[in-house]
Chains A and B, each alone.
Chain A
Amino acid sequence: MTAPADATARLTGFVAALRAHGVRIGTGETVDAAQAAAALGFADRVLLREGLAATLLHTTDQRRLFDAVFDLYFPRGVGAPEGETGDRDDLRDRLADALAAGDDILLAQLAVEAVDGLGGYGSSPGSDGWSSYQTLERLRPQTLMARVRDDVRRQGGGEGFTGRLLEDEIRRRIEAFRALVAAEARRRVAERRGRDEIARRAVAPTADRVDFLYAGKDRLAELRRTVQPLARKLATRLAARRRRASRGTIDLRRTLRGSLSTGGVPMRPVLRRRRPARPELVLLCDVSGSVAGFSDFTMLLVQALHDQFSKVRVFAFVNRIDEITGLLDHGAADPEGLGARIRAEATLTGWHGSSDYGVALGEFAERYAGAVGPRTTVFVLGDARTNMSDPNLAAVRQIAERARHVHWLNPEPRAQWGTGDSAAYAYAELVAMHECRNAHQLGALIGRLLPV
């Protein structure tokens, strides 16, 4: 790749696309990136990519997004591959060889050919395009598993102890190949439709911006892996707020003692630290099917933050409520299993299986009144969809009167509040309700709303 004539425009477009995905990039970073590109040149894509990442990013979690967008703005190649693209059988043969050899360069090249040969659809401009789904459906790389394994064994590569690692290794290579195909299809589409649009639409957002309500199993698993880093970030933020809040009066005795070394001149005032007791937290979580992903994630996050509080109690409900604080303690060891265990071990449903906020909140106010006091902050997690039953506003009012704060986090877009069976606005009149659709919003809300 030689220096594109429009190098500056390319770089600005790239930065704009990253910003559109929520990456915060200032002018200073953009200038650094331009300097990096000038120092590194455009000839080596890998160096350029690493140089731009070093200047534009400040954390690790945006790297996947960065790489996907980079592939569009500084593509491996331009246009269709040169030469004849083989047919499906020929591609499969060569793919099997490349997988057996673990040859990354060859795999990248085959991804290009595969999309070109198998991924095109439509013929009229405007309705045609390139599909990674279609490419992979036709090529079916996952069915090469046994063949590749046998090939490697035949060449003597499956012997000894490490022979047992072979299948997993091949599986990981196939996964990597699928990702290469997806990236190549995006590149081809971007050539047709304009890369700005494809960068905006077709690049998956970072995990923390995926809607809880629509996140699939994979994305939820990926999200769970962000719990610890997010908890660390929040702990830092809360500690800073706590420090600001406790910065207080001068401790005269310690100031004078400290002044002995300066000949009795009190040079450094010693500040007295107020050590306020940490707040208590109560979580009330709707764990019914529709919002379970949201609740599970939030519970894990709170669990990871537990040393920020003097006490945490967690309650789950569908149409009955039960305390699950104990289950959550073990949840840290096995986060995937948390949801299933809650639903298996707690009594959350009565005669039917759908949410009933009114009954559940009423039961909480009655059975667990002692859990809420003037030092308690209560978070209610749920979409406030009552299945047409009585929202029991009196129970919520009662909880709000006893607690220090009550916040309701609703995973639905604000535009849907109050539609259908949503009692969101009725509840929002009694307690502060916040839209909380993704991990990014959740982090911001917790960082802001938690008392310190």
Chain B
Amino acid sequence: MFTSVDDVSARLAETGYLASPAVATTVFLADRLGKPLLVEGPAGVGKTELAKAVAAVAGARLVRLQCYEGVDESRALYEWNHAKQLLRISAGRDETWDETRTDIFSEEFLLPRPLLTAIRGDEPTVLLIDETDKADVEVEGLLLEVLSDFQVTVPELGTITATRRPFVVLTSNASRELSEALRRRCLFLHIGFPDEELERRIVRLKVPGIDAALAKSVVRVVGALRAMDLRKVPSVAETIDWARTLLALGAGTLDATLVRDTLGVILKHQDDVQKAAAKLDLDAV
């Protein structure tokens, strides 16, 4: 898919994703070694966005399994369409039960879910398993099986093997520790907060029209906030939101009043706002 790490960076940038060297290198290797990519990091650093960008670059369809507490095989893998099966049974043509049974357990009555969808199909596919840590431990066993052989067995239909392996991205916020077995299947990428220069570029790309000097100030203030001991430090998503807000307010430069009035866009907890205001000397205004 990619010829070099630079090729990864350049093509991701074209779709609007600015990759750090760590991100570009790991994406390149995941493609080369054909291994799933496990991306961990705080909220809002672009984990989900990365998978979307890879799909865009590869001209691949994006299949997304959004994990949540209670997600199970029938949501992740496949399910039989019971209602339709019942209809078919009660429509009762002239046939034996054996014939009916063969019929209702055929493709027509199968509801494929993301994992199965990603494995079938011949087109290039990016499979995004988002927020894996939200799913229960049982689901990991299922993922492990699918990601080992890229095949799924439906007892009534037989084994379905991928003709073309999808590029797999799993994301996690580490709200729960994923099992060692699953980790060992994957290449590991931690996305942290970008360095100042990269974050400045992200802001200017995502908030066109923002003045370069203002973008720089925004990133410096966010950097200072991250160095404080806050309950929730601002992420890239908040930096972008703040820059957008400032642009909408028509601000040309930062001043203490403006920062104080818009701090709520960057910080979500009231005690964080207070702590930051004190440290940044905003109370004086």
Contact = CB atoms under 8 A, between A and B. Distances in A.
Contact of B174 (A29, A53, A169, A232): A232
A132 B258 CA distance: 44
B215 to A, nearest CB: 12
A400 interface: no
B154 interface: no
Given A28-B184, A168-B227, A236-B177, A54 B29 contact: yes
Interface string B252-270: 0111100100000000000
B280 A164 contact: yes
Given A40-B5, A47-B25, A50-B25, A29 B254 contact: no
Contacts of B86: 261
A57 B22 CA distance: 13
Nearest to A31: B33
B220 interface: yes
Contact of B177 (A26, A28, A55, A233): A233
A26 B180 CA distance: 12
A235 interface: yes
Contacts of B254: 160-162
Interface stretch (A58-66, A299-307, A344-352, A401-409): A58-66
Which of A55, A162, A233 has the largest count of B CB atoms less than 10 A from its CB? A162
A204 interface: no
B176 A50 contact: no
A243 interface: yes
Contact of A162 (B25, B89, B189, B221): B221
B187 A160 contact: no
A35 interface: yes
Q: Secondary structure of the A side of the interface?
A: helix
A60 B259 CA distance: 33
Interface in A19-69: 26, 28-29, 32, 35-36, 39-40, 46-47, 50-51, 53-55, 57-60, 63
Contact of B189 (A54, A164, A232, A235): A54
Interface residues of A, number: 39
Contacts of B253: 160-161
A229 interface: yes
A60 B40 contact: yes
Contacts of A340: none
A233 B172 CA distance: 14
A308 B96 CA distance: 54
Contacts of B16: none
B137 interface: yes
A32 B29 CA distance: 10
Contact of B256 (A51, A161, A236, A239): A161
Contact of A36 (B29, B38, B174, B189): B29
A50 B22 contact: yes
A50 B5 CA distance: 11
Given A47-B21, A54-B187, A161 B224 contact: no
A53 B23 CA distance: 12
Contact of B25 (A40, A164, A239): A40
A210 B254 CA distance: 44
Contacts of B153: none
A257 interface: no
Interface in B169-192: 174-177, 180, 183-184, 186-190
A172 interface: yes
A165 B224 CA distance: 7
B242 to A, nearest CB: 14
A245 interface: no
B88 interface: no
Nearest to A243: B137
A161 B213 CA distance: 12
Interface string A258-272: 000101000000000
Contacts of B186: 58
B35 interface: yes
B183 A58 contact: yes
Given A164-B280, A232-B175, A29 B32 contact: no
B82 interface: yes
Contact of A39 (B32, B188, B259): B32
Contact of B281 (A29, A46, A164, A239): A164
9 contacts: A32-B187, A40-B29, A47-B5, A54-B25, A54-B187, A60-B40, A160-B217, A232-B176, A233-B177
Interface of A: 26, 28-29, 32, 35-36, 39-40, 46-47, 50-51, 53-55, 57-60, 63, 160-162, 164-165, 168-169, 172, 229, 232-233, 235-237, 239-240, 243, 261, 263
Closest 10 CB pairs between A and B? A58-B183, A50-B25, A233-B177, A161-B254, A54-B26, A50-B22, A236-B177, A54-B187, A60-B190, A165-B224
Interface of B: 5, 21-22, 25-26, 28-29, 32-33, 35, 38, 40, 82, 86, 89, 137, 174-177, 180, 183-184, 186-190, 217, 220-221, 223-224, 227, 253-256, 259, 280-281
Given A51-B26, A239-B137, 9 more contacts: A36-B29, A46-B21, A58-B183, A60-B40, A161-B255, A161-B256, A165-B221, A169-B223, A237-B177
